[in-house]
Structure 1
Amino acid sequence: MSTFIAELLGTMILILLGDGVVANVCLSKTKGNNSGWIVITTGWALAVAIPVFIFGTISGAHFNPAVTLGMAAIGKLPWAQVAPYIIAQMIGAILGACLVYLAFLPHFKEETNAANILGTFATGPAIRSTVGNFLTEFIATFCLLFFILGIANTPMADGISPIAVGMVIWVIGLTLGGPTGYAINPARDLGPRIAHAFLPIPNKGSSDWGYAWIPVVAPICGGVVACLTYAAIF
């Protein structure tokens, strides 16, 4: 139960802060409106690092089904724990998105741009291309898991590892994030997309379910392949 709660709360915090920075940048009339990509990528990096500090020693701080499945594929997590981890992550992601909605409630009520509203919750491609978007998410998530495994095998002073994980998220966002918004996490995209679908947001438009499978399937594939590759090499 402690690992379930850790994954739920950690993912909730991750989405609250991560989607929160997107809301702050994209929604009209916020004081952070139009502050740009550097703010978004920095916010997401810190959104990941902070719950890793809090919950890393309890659950391993996955907060991401691609991480959970990748670790299980190489024997670093029992398969019996995979479903509870992913269920906790999905619940946490939905709750985190609902908290973002409440935190920015007046701005959601006044926002008329459906793309800005959806972008606060879920990712979307800058150029829609099934193959291209899939490859971007696959490559970015491969990097995420490969880098995380490398960091885990690098001797560090206590407390430094979560900072290194945050730097991984930051550099992926800065370098590979532009084409698709770097979901690199099925729960991060699907949970808030579900929240977008049921929350009573004026002018919200479509939840873009036709695209939704890419930020779920591609990160899982990229993460599992990265873990298997790392295990085969090292």
Structure 2
Amino acid sequence: MDYSLMTRLAAEFVGTAFLIMLGNGAVANVDLKGTKGYGSDWMLIAVGYGCGVMIPAMMFGSISGNHINPAFSIGLAVAGMFPWSEVLPYIVAQLLGAIMGQLIVVACYKPYYDQTEDTNHVLGTFSTINSVGSKLNGFVNEFFGSFILFFGAIGITKAPFFQNNLGTAHFALGFLVWTLVASLGGPTGPGLNPARDLGPRILHSILPLKHKGSSQWDYAFVPVLAPILASIVAILLYKGLFL
């Protein structure tokens, strides 16, 4: 079935909002004081992000392709697998969805934001930061994490093994993200997605949070640029080798 551009944009908006609610919501549950999950381990966050990708993929993979990531839209367009005319509308829908998802996270966790004094923990529920303050290490981590994400995503969805059951392929994407966060998430979060980082960071900079601290805009280019470059390289490489 062919869906209109507006329908597909609605899917990208809702899908990205779900990603942020489930992913950043898990971070908030672990890092904000007083929550039921406060002080839980990293696997809770990995599960949140894995399901934050899996559930929208199952819902919208057959409607919009479930990009929910500007880097993926750009990489597909560079490889000739997605129309350039739709890249900007997709990115706008993804950014707005990320902002809406983060607004919902803040609404749900507002009392716990108020009693969390660690400003890095507060920012970490919005956007990524490098744990040792290194832009180089952050870029390396985001690039290779994103490379695996996009190479894996295009490989899973285009593999002959899944062509008669793309639902299973989209299900598998959740496990890919779950494993990525568990394996390579330590240094930065990770972002792997410009909308996932930039939309909430914009919101962090304007909301009157009690213990806000810096939005760290000097680092913000890392989780935007690295995933875009990784997406282009990964999708072109996979297309050149296997398609």
* TM-score bracket for the superposition, by shorter chain length: over 0.9
1:209 aligns with 2:220: no
Once the two structures are TM-superposed, the CA of residue 229 in structure 1 deviates from its matched residue by 0.8
* Count of residues in Structure 1 that have an aligned counterpart in Structure 2: 234
Instruction: Name the counterpart of 1:66.
Output: 71
CA contact 2:157–2:166 (8 Å) conserved in 1: no
Structure 1 stretches of 4+ with a deviation exceeding 6 A read none
Instruction: Name the counterpart of 2:3.
Output: none
Once the two structures are TM-superposed, the CA of residue 130 in structure 1 deviates from its matched residue by 2.2
CA contact 2:26–2:45 (8 Å) conserved in 1: yes
Q: 1:230 aligns with which of 223, 235, 238?
A: 238
Aligned-residue Cα RMSD (Å) equals 1.0
Structure 1 segment 1-234 matched on structure 2, within 5 A = 1-154=6-159, 155-156=161-162, 157=165, 159-234=167-242
Percent identity between the aligned chains? 45
SS at match of 2:219: helix
SS at match of 1:169: helix
CA distance in structure 2 between the aligned counterparts of 1:159 and 1:95, rounded to whole angstroms: 27
CA distance in structure 1 between the aligned counterparts of 2:75 and 2:166, rounded to whole angstroms: 25
- Which residue identity lines up with residue 87 of structure 2 in the other structure? V
Once the two structures are TM-superposed, the CA of residue 158 in structure 1 deviates from its matched residue by 5.1
- Which residue identity lines up with residue 186 of structure 2 in the other structure? G
Once the two structures are TM-superposed, the CA of residue 162 in structure 1 deviates from its matched residue by 2.0
- The answer for unaligned runs of 5 or more in structure 1 is none
CA distance in structure 1 between the aligned counterparts of 2:139 and 2:156, rounded to whole angstroms: 26
- The answer for unaligned runs of 5 or more in structure 2 is 1-5
Once the two structures are TM-superposed, the CA of residue 152 in structure 1 deviates from its matched residue by 1.2
CA distance in structure 1 between the aligned counterparts of 2:166 and 2:139, rounded to whole angstroms: 36
SS at match of 2:218: helix
